[in-house]
Structure 1
Amino acid sequence: GKSILKVSGKNVVMNRQLPVGLFKDKKSDATAVFTGKKSAIDFWVLDGNEFNIYELKAKNKMVGILTEIFFYSNYMRDVYWHNSLETKQNVKIRNPKKTDRSYNKLCDGIKNITKITGWILADEFHPLITDATDAVINIMNDNGIESELQYNKKQYDLKIDINVHK
């Protein structure tokens, strides 16, 4: 079948579960600005100067996949790439350890990115997302910062074979 991910093969860093918590002054439950303990980008790929963020769903055709990828993509643009929230609001990003999940490579490369693409991946999409014209994705892409932030979707076939042995 066709590959879901297309990468250049050069300077590619890929990993999973990037935490997206944001805290005022210090990391604690009481200082959480939004999205706390378990919120994370499902997986991500830093491909040269392009940063791809993926929200993955299986057997879960919710329209909420759009709000998730919208939030995560703008969060990465504002907090990590442009640092606008971090510097203006004295907030702390919930970071994994520098050695976990290639986080150090992401931190090193994020300042050099030129584009973020938020991808929604699912075996089946909600009817509002699956229309032939992709109207919702087109509206999201008409965002005034088209050169920096875009959205896309890809559907995949979910085939799971499970053998249970006694």
Structure 2
Amino acid sequence: MNQNVLTQLQENYHHYAQTHSQPNRNIKLPSTLGIERAGDELRLQLSARSVTANMQTDAAAVEAWAFVLRLWLGKESVRRIVVDWEAPPKPHDGHYERFLYRVAQFQSLFPDWFEVADPRKLAMRRTLTEQSLILNVASGKTTSSPKTTSPEYKLESELIASEPFRRHFGLKAGLVDRQFPVGLFANTVSAKTHVFTGGKSAIDIVGLGEDGRFFIFELEAGGNISVGTLSELLLYTGLIREAAQNPPRIRFGSAKLGSRACVHPHHVQHCTGIAAVMLAENLHPLLEHPELLPALNSAAEARWNCVPGAKPVCFSKALIGDFRKTAKANA
């Protein structure tokens, strides 16, 4: 790792924290992320293990690291970021396919400065070569979560029942739900046709706004603070965006919906737009950059929202404590 990059990153963040009366939190970089700097170019190198890791881990969140590194080091200082990686032994590993999709989606947002060292590595991804991509749906009977004691489950349950939460985002009553499936398959939903990792991938919280927008909430509970929060939000936004566009590039499976589900595929298909929200009790310090949301939204407007048939995407972030304070104040 280039120690100078880490030193400059820490100095720039600490200056921001001091001038904005923020806690001076420790800044670290993943030890498995190779970083080399040459002039105004930054090169990121990932191992085969990193590209097949869970994207919730910082080691795998390459697009999030690329984004925050450029913001905190300065756009004039870093004019280009080139990413490269070691291909895994199994080229169609579900985690790896998801990684390739994420890289391609991020490159579509920021083609002016984010590059892949060897574009051929993206050319054979299944999300590009498969003719029919399918998202699974919440089918069958819904039972209680096996992790009902986990902080994430408790927080999800609290928020979907929270009136202050619903009012803050302008969500329709009865149309807020948790664990909206986004397992990706080829042609049909089955154990043998998954493109990503199985069929259990899900968005933490979703809802339909009074204005018709489809809300995606990527939730981080307690001390689970990760730069990968942004990677997850970008992934889910990309999938929902491609399912919502007209005509859709990704379709929903035809299985019968489960009895608990109150937010359905047709809410995605007929939405007026997509609101993608980072929601946490605490955010990773590098996600606090004041230009993070403007840069995301400017890119979405320029690269995604202008595509014929696209539903407009807008990014935002919020802290959970705000809703709890509102609830206590109104009690």
Q: Distance in 1 between matches of 2:278 and 2:295?
A: 15
Return closer, same or farther for 1:9/1:102 CA change in 2, 3 Å cut-off: closer
Per-residue CA shift, 1:62-91, capped at 9, x if unaligned?
Answer: 00010111111121110244453236xxxx
* Within-5 A mapping of 1:66-85: 66-82=230-246, 84-85=248-249
1:37 to 2:199 alignment: yes
Return closer, same or farther for 1:124/1:28 CA change in 2, 3 Å cut-off: same
Q: Distance in 2 between matches of 1:81 and 1:8?
A: 23
Q: CA deviation at 1:39?
A: 1.1
Residue in 2 aligned with 1:164?
Answer: none
Q: Distance in 1 between matches of 2:173 and 2:294?
A: 29
Q: Distance in 1 between matches of 2:188 and 2:313?
A: 29
Q: Give 5+ residue unaligned stretches, structure 2.
A: 1-163, 306-310, 325-331
Q: Distance in 1 between matches of 2:288 and 2:201?
A: 26
Q: Give 5+ residue unaligned stretches, structure 1.
A: 160-166
Return closer, same or farther for 1:108/1:28 CA change in 2, 3 Å cut-off: closer
Q: Distance in 1 between matches of 2:320 and 2:262?
A: 26
Give the structure-2-normalised TM-score.
Answer: 0.40
Aligned residue pairs total 150
Q: CA deviation at 1:139?
A: 1.9
For 1:117, the aligned partner's letter is A
Return closer, same or farther for 1:129/1:9 CA change in 2, 3 Å cut-off: closer
Return closer, same or farther for 1:12/1:139 CA change in 2, 3 Å cut-off: farther
CA RMSD after TM alignment: 2.9
* Within-5 A mapping of 1:33-112: 33-48=195-210, 49-58=212-221, 59-82=223-246, 84-86=248-250, 93=253, 97-103=257-263, 106-112=264-270
Q: Distance in 1 between matches of 2:170 and 2:296?
A: 25
SS class of match (2:279): strand
Residue in 1 aligned with 2:186?
Answer: 24
Q: Distance in 2 between matches of 1:40 and 1:68?
A: 10
Greater Cα shift, 77-86 or 52-61 = 77-86
1:130 to 2:293 alignment: no
Residue in 2 aligned with 1:118?
Answer: 276
Contact 1:10 1:47 in 2 (8 A): yes
Q: Distance in 1 between matches of 2:178 and 2:203?
A: 7
SS class of match (2:192): helix
Higher relative contact order (CA 8 A, sep 6+): 1
Looking at secondary structure, tell me which structure has more helix per residue: 2
Residue in 2 aligned with 1:139?
Answer: 295
Q: Distance in 1 between matches of 2:178 and 2:228?
A: 20
Q: CA deviation at 1:109?
A: 3.2
Q: Distance in 1 between matches of 2:281 and 2:201?
A: 22
